[in-house]
């Protein structure tokens, strides 16, 4: 149920939970964007699967409820994901943003939230799925790289894209320099993509096919 206070347009803000595993820099830009009165979403909770995730401290300092759920505390992944689901429902979340959440959610949980879970991936999907995307881009010799915000479906990094942003690959780039350039693009892109979904401008399956701002280079 959408229960947040209204924004400047008079519509209730969508209640958003963020799932993290570490640094949480994308979480931070979402929290900062959502502080604007006219942003169509509010962040109602941050859940981590790691108690040491640095992002938890930032969220708590911002007055946002936090929770830690570790897979190893449950008999199996289904039980762990049922517990995550209960937390999300307890926060009355309308939408869930994965932001560096380094664990694959079970098809059951994804199915229950399908169309309401977003993820950010550091590549121009469908290129470079999975881990080590910057190494993959350099090895492939592409001229452009970037990030994608997409709806989460059971297939890894496969859901419909909502928004992409490109960055150039420069000669002499290392995975680290490229990652830093992509991260700046991520921080600009995730708040915009969440606003598009929260305001209802993009619905699942994404109306954007091929995704905006991405012209395939081949």
- For ligand GRF, which is the closer residue by CB, 4 or 117? 117
Quote the least distance from Cβ 117 to ligand GRF, whole Å: 13
- From 160, 47, 51, select the one nearest 99 (Cα to Cα): 47
- 121 an active-site residue? yes
What span, in angstroms and rounded, lies between the C-alpha atoms of 119 and 136? 19
Residue nearest to ligand GRF (CB): 100
Terminal alpha carbon distance of the chain: 43
What span, in angstroms and rounded, lies between the C-alpha atoms of 149 and 168? 18
- From 17, 108, 28, select the one nearest 62 (Cα to Cα): 28
- From 197, 192, 138, select the one nearest 165 (Cα to Cα): 192
- For ligand GRF, which is the closer residue by CB, 146 or 160? 146
Quote the least distance from Cβ 208 to ligand GRF, whole Å: 19
What span, in angstroms and rounded, lies between the C-alpha atoms of 134 and 87? 33
- For ligand GRF, which is the closer residue by CB, 16 or 120? 120
Name the token pair of 51: 């108690």
Q: Which of 69, 121, 150, 214 is catalytic?
A: 121
Name the token pair of 151: 């709806």
Quote the least distance from Cβ 169 to ligand GRF, whole Å: 16
Name the token pair of 64: 């946002």
Quote the least distance from Cβ 150 to ligand GRF, whole Å: 11
- For ligand GRF, which is the closer residue by CB, 26 or 66? 26
Binding residues for ligand GRF, rule: CB under 6 A, are: 20, 22-26, 99-100, 120-122, 183, 186
Work out the number of other CB atoms within 10 angstroms of the CB of residue 58. 20
Catalytic (active-site) positions = 121
């Amino acid at each position: 149920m959408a229960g947040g206070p209204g924004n400047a347009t008079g519509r209730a803000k969508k209640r958003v939970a963020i799932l993290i595993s570490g640094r949480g820099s994308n979480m931070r830009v979402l929290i900062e964007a959502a502080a604007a009165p006219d942003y169509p979403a509010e962040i109602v909770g941050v859940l981590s699967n790691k108690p040491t995730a640095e992002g938890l401290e930032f969220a708590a300092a911002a007055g946002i409820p936090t929770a830690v759920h570790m897979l190893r505390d449950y008999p199996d992944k289904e039980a762990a994901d049922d517990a995550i689901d209960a937390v999300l429902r307890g926060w009355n979340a309308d939408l869930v943003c994965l932001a560096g959440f380094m664990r694959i959610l079970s098809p059951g949980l994804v199915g229950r939230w399908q169309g309401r879970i977003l993820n950010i991936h550091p590549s121009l999907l469908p290129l470079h799925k999975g881990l080590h995307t910057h190494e993959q881009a350099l090895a492939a010799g592409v001229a452009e790289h970037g990030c994608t915000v997409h709806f989460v479906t059971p297939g890894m990094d496969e859901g419909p894209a909502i928004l992409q942003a490109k960055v150039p690959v420069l000669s002499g780039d290392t995975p680290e320099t490229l990652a830093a350039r992509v991260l700046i693009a991520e921080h600009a892109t995730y708040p915009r993509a969440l606003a598009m979904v929260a305001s209802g401008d993009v619905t699942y399956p994404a109306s954007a096919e091929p995704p905006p701002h991405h012209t395939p280079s081949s």
